[in-house]
Amino acid sequence: MEKLMSTEKTQTSNLHRIVIVGGGAGGLELATRLGNQLGKHQHAEIILVDAALTHIWKPLLHEVAAGTLNSYEDELNYFAHASQHHFEFFLGRLTDLDRASKKIVLGALKDEDGKEVAPERCIAYDTLVLAIGSTSNDFGTPGAKEHCIFLDSRPQADRFQREFLSLYLEAQARNLIEPHENTLNIAIIGAGATGVELAAELHHAANQFSKYGLNSIDPKDVKISLIEAAPRILPALSERVSEGAEKELQKIGVNVLKNCRVTHIDAHKVYCEGDIQIPATLKVWSAGIKAPDFLKNIGGLETNRINQLVVKPSLQTTLDDDIFAMGDCACYIPTGAERPVPPRAQVANQEAIFLAKALAHRLQNKPLGTFEFKDKGSLVSLSNQSTVGNILGNINVEGLFARMMYVSLYRFHQVALHGVFKTSLMIIKDLLSKGSSPQLKLH
């Protein structure tokens, strides 16, 4: 076997090495905080590893898919950010974990043509934080993998946007030969926050296409079906919020199907129990999540049925105190609770804040403390129609106030990464460019 390239700790760098795998909302924020607190003052060496070169906030993926957000304008480059915040970035995908020698293995890097750019490599660690996130869970539904787009990553969102735009361009070309009516059927499986937000955003995008001259498909002929197996949409939120969101979706013509369990999918239709058949050219699966399959018992660590790493109140994995897990790939059930903390962005944010303090305490041999999740509520954007949700557990909000709060969530994420001054400049830039730039990505 060919000897692996290894990133060992050198004599010039005998600092405690903290390796974070996964540059999502939680992992990137943790690397930034640790870089500013420990890396800047040479108290520890901080390394972030991710399989992509750039970061985009995952709750924005539905806007990327609809084309109402240009992902290339809102992305963050890991190398540039690392150089500004005193940590190192390594490009690569985690493939294995050697707990005995305290190393992670990154798969070979390949370019778009499949040519190997770099061989398999190892990175040594003293403390390892796994923040790999989650992927969609299709529950083994026949045809889902072959015919659906899973809106869990930037490439998948970009793929949907390209296919969505291509259908409009195709319809426009056909109309030059022989004008006729065009209908576009879109099915979204799963009416959680992602599915609901995507349905509303696609309705908005359909109207924007028409304004920009791509009117071969009339907005009223874009048929969006939102399919949910539960008795109501947004089952994680209150009934009042769920009912309000459903009314808004029905108002804009979204076909909401509840108590509708998908049995199988083919190239042209989604089939549900009760012999229900839903025509669909574009199909999106957003009905559940799981941690990536390769995490199942990785390094002999304890995982649950959806591959999440089981962690203690300190967020240390149950079988190795040198390995922590956070975000969607971690399963933490607080004492007295029946369910794990939910896989939401605010959980990852709070875990990043906790771990930044806990890992600093670890270097000083102080107690790590116990992670406590404080649920600040959930907000769901219905594009330019409305925003609904609840805050502080049971206060329902909607309308302009809710919209302002929803927008502020992303700004708080930017503040955590860039600071108040730079985020303020970004807000000013966005306001100035809003009137001069297209409201839809048309390429």
> Each residue of 13-55: pLDDT tens digit?
689 999 999 999 999 999 999 999 999 999 999 999 999 999 9
pLDDT digits (tens, 9 = 90+) for 356-377: 999 999 999 999 999 999 988 8
Looking at residue 5, its pLDDT comes to 56
Question: What's the N-to-C CA distance of the chain in angstroms?
Answer: 45
Q: Which of 322, 312, 328 is nearest to 137 (CA)?
A: 328
Closest by CA position to 19, among listed 7, 11, 2? 7
Give the pLDDT confidence score for residue 49 in this predicted structure: 98
Q: Mapping DSSP to helix (H, G, I), strand (E, B) and coil, where does residue 156 land?
A: helix
Write the CB contacts of 378 (distance below 8 Å, at least 6 apart in sequence).
193, 236, 237, 344, 389, 390
Top pLDDT among 6 and 69 is at 69
Going along the chain from its start, the domains and CATH numbers come out as 5-134+291-370 (3.50.50.60), 138-287 (3.50.50.100)
Provide mean pLDDT across the span 426-439: 73
Q: Count of CB atoms within 10 A of residue 402's CB?
A: 23
Distances (CA, A) of 76 to 80, 153, 420, 439: 8, 15, 16, 21
For the stretch 178-223, pLDDT in tens is 777 788 999 999 999 999 999 999 999 999 988 888 888 889 999 9
List of residues 6+ apart from 398 with CB closer than 8 A: 244, 386, 387, 388, 389
- Helix 420-434 × helix 399-418 angle, to 10°: 130
**What is the spatial distance between Cα 327 and Cα 301, in angstroms, rounded to a whole number?**
17
pTM across the whole model: 0.91
Please report the pLDDT score of residue 293 as a whole number.
93
Query: Which tops the pLDDT comparison, 176 or 316?
Result: 316
> Alpha-carbon Rg of the chain, whole angstroms?
23
pLDDT tens-digit profile of 384-412?
A: 767 887 776 677 777 777 778 888 888 88
- Measured CA to CA, the distance from residue 241 to residue 394 in angstroms comes to 10
Residue (of 65, 121, 44, 63) closest to 90 by Cα position:
121
Model pLDDT for residues 234-254, shown as the tens digit of each residue: 987 888 889 889 999 999 999
The pLDDT, as a whole number, for residue 27 is: 97
pLDDT top residue among 36 and 439: 36
The mean per-residue pLDDT over the stretch 166-181 comes to 83
pLDDT at residue 230 greater than cutoff 60: yes
The whole-angstrom separation of Cα 131 and Cα 20 is 7
The yes-or-no verdict on residue 435 having pLDDT over 70 is no
pLDDT reported for residue 11: 41
Q: What is the mean pLDDT of residues 147-165?
A: 92
Instruction: Say what percent of the chain tops pLDDT 70.
Output: 94
Reported as a pLDDT band with limits 50, 70 and 90, residue 12 is: very low
10 pLDDT higher than 80: no
Alpha helix stretches (DSSP H) within 120-238: 144-147, 154-177, 193-211
CA distance 131 to 142: 30
Q: Output the pLDDT for position 8.
A: 65
**CA gap 59, 197 in Å, rounded:** 10
According to the model, what pLDDT value does residue 3 have? 43
pLDDT reported for residue 336: 85
